[in-house]
Structure 1
Amino acid sequence: MSIQAYQNNSVETASPGELTLMLYNGCIKFIRGGKKALEQKDYAKKNEVIQKAQAIIRELMVTMNQDYAVANDVLPLYEYMMNRLIEANTKNDAAILDEVEGLVTEFRDTWKQVLLQARKAQYGTGGTA
């Protein structure tokens, strides 16, 4: 099985919670890629990967379940991160990318804990996310 086939299969068989975790991890990867491209003064690559991070934040925003009260708290933070990514991209500002990476990492780590708690509740085991 090729790496691409494995990755496709991972996405196709992932639960919605696991897909969200993959989105957070992808966003972090693209932000880090943006910082690296910025350091290398590869502005085309920086723009490309920051736009991919923005697309992930957009996806998280549109797929958020509005039935939960926490959505009212999270959506403004996603909007903030989106605006900061745009600003980082236009100003070539690595410090802003660091800030957004920190926020996305906090979301990812919190989400991992949510998945672990849900798994414990469902299966009575710890498992790993």
Structure 2
Amino acid sequence: MTTQALRNRYVSDSVSTAPPAQLLVMLYDRLVLDLMIAGQAYESGDRNTGSSRVYHAQEILMELRATLDTSVWSGGPGLASLYSYMINELVQSNVAGDRARIETVQGFAEQLRDAWREAAAQVAANGS
């Protein structure tokens, strides 16, 4: 088996066996990675890579927004609005090749990721 095939199998196994809270953290990790690479690509003039990473980040945010049940948590509508804002900023960043907007979204994504990572760790520690 090739190294790439082994990596793909590991990722697939990790995703299929991860608890829901960890899957959410994994999505945020990928979102932050996409934004970091997009910002670097725009900085170096590589619009193709930047654009493809921004599109992928938008897809992640749209999935997060679509699966958010705003009726079970009072902060849900606010989080849905934040996701919409982040998507809009990424659309605008892609049109203009604006790294600053990507960095703004990345800052929000990092804060959300860190909060969910902490919550997932607390759930795991409590055995729930």
Q: Scaled by the length of structure 2, what TM-score is found?
A: 0.90
Give distance in 2, aligned partners of 1:19 and 1:63: 13
Distance 1:82 1:109 in 2: 19
Q: Which runs of 4+ in 1 moved over 4 A?
A: none
2:37 aligned residue (33, 36, 39): 33
Q: Distance in 1 between matches of 2:68 and 2:18?
A: 17
Count of residues paired in the alignment: 123
Percent identity of paired positions between Structure 1 and Structure 2: 28
1:93 to 79, 93, 98: 98
Look up the match of 2:117. 112
State the alpha-carbon separation in 1 of the partners of residues 38 and 30 from structure 2: 12
Give the partner amino acid of 2:69: N
Q: Tell me, which stretches of 5 or more residues in structure 1 are unaligned?
A: 124-129
Look up the match of 2:79: 74
Query: In 1, Cα distance between the equivalents of 2:78 and 2:123?
Result: 21
Is 1:55 the equivalent of 2:56?
no
Question: Residues of 2 paired with 1:91 and 1:34: CA distance?
Answer: 13
* Unaligned 5+ runs, structure 2: none
Q: Counterpart in 2 of 1:24?
A: 28
**Residues 38-62 of structure 1 deviation map (CA, whole Å, 9 limit, x = unaligned):** 1221111111110000000001101
> What TM-score, normalized to structure 1?
0.90
Which residue identity is paired with 1:46? G
Q: Could you say which structure has the greater relative contact order, defined with CA pairs below 8 angstroms and 6 or more residues apart?
A: 2
